Each structure stands twice: as C-alpha cells, then as structure tokens.
Amino acid sequence: MTEFRGNQMRENAVETEWNEISSVKDTREEAAGIPKEDEEKGRLKTKPVKKPHRGRKRVQDVLGGDYLSKKTVAGNVPFLIYLAVLTLFYIANTYNTERIYKEIEKTKTELKELRFEYITARSSLMFESKLSELNKRTQAIGLKETVIPPYKIFYSGDSIQTGN
C-alpha cells in the first residue's frame, strides 16, 4: 500500500506514522531527562510515576479552597445556602420532636401514678365509709347507734307535729 504525503511517496503509511510517533516520544523523554534504554541490559530504565489519587486531589481542592472558587460552585452558592439552612431546620425539628416526646412520656407516667393514687384513695374512702367501720369509730368516742328508725317531722309555722 502506498501513500502520498507532502510530495513524498511512502510504502507503508502505518509503519511510517508509528516511526514518527515514536520519534516524537523519544524527543519528549530526552527533554524530560529520561534515558531511552540501558544498553547493557536492553531494557528501558524508567521510574514508575505515582499518579495522585482522585480522592486525595478532591480533598486537597476542598481544604485548599480551590473547590469553592470554581464557577459551577460559585453559581450554586444560593442553593447550597438553602440546603444548609434546610439541614439546620431538619436537625432542630428532630431535637424538638425528641424533647416533646420525652415530655409526653413523663406526663404519661405522672398520669399513671395519679390514677393509682386516686384508686387507692377511693378504695380507702369506700372502706372507711362502711356502716360497720363507722360504728367502730363512733363507739370509740362514745356515740351509739340508734335503735329507733327515722321518721318525718311535719311543722307549720306555729306548731310542730310529728307524723307516724
């Protein structure tokens, strides 16, 4: 296969392009101070190049302030502020909800205690108001139970009448 380039006829275009590319690469390596080959061993003598990790570079950009100076970030500052305020409201709402929940639980336990106290007082009152208990307490101070049943007393202005 032949190719015509710049008034020159070449036999194999792929091979000539490869030679041109490799010669450009060799001149770059020489300019950078990298030796081509170790002639004694026939191998390339190159030092491995450490590539910076993407994550490390991003962290350096953020900590160094370079990330905030980018145009895309600078254009989205109002949205970022909105997100920060929204996050603060969300956190405040969570704390407020937890505080209210604790107050509700405290009120529930207090209500249970007051209910138990009410039930205890009511049962004690019912026990103390039994006729037998009243008789015991009144006999201790000298009062006696009546044997005569109660009856109605009728009266009209001047006179008192008793009715049986």
For position 35, what pLDDT does the model report? 53
Split at pLDDT 50, 70, 90, the class of 160 is low
Give the residue-averaged pLDDT of 3-30. 55
Confidence band for 4, pLDDT divided at 50, 70 and 90: low
In the predicted model, is pLDDT for residue 26 greater than 60? no
Better pLDDT: 99 or 33: 99
Residue 14 corresponds to which amino acid? V
Cα 163 to the chain's mean position, in Å?
83
The 10s digit of each residue's pLDDT in 43-83 is 556 677 777 677 777 777 777 777 667 777 778 888 989 99
The pLDDT-based confidence of 156 (bands split at 50, 70, 90) is confident
Q: Where are the domains of the chain?
A: 78-145
Does the pLDDT value for residue 27 go beyond 60?
A: no
In 49-76, alpha helices (H): 54-64, 71-75
Top pLDDT among 67 and 23 is at: 67
Phi, psi angles (nearest 5°) of residue 52: -70, 140
Lowest mean pLDDT, pick from 3-7, 76-80, 123-127: 3-7
> Residue 97: is its pLDDT beyond 60?
yes
Question: Residue 67: phi, psi to the nearest 5?
Answer: -65, -40
Q: What is this structure's pTM?
A: 0.42
Q: Angle 119-124-125 (CA atoms, 0-180°, nearest 5)?
A: 100
pLDDT of amino acid 70? 75
Please say if the pLDDT value at position 150 is more than 60. Answer: yes
Q: Hey, is 150 helix, strand or coil?
A: coil
Query: Mean pLDDT in the chain?
Result: 77
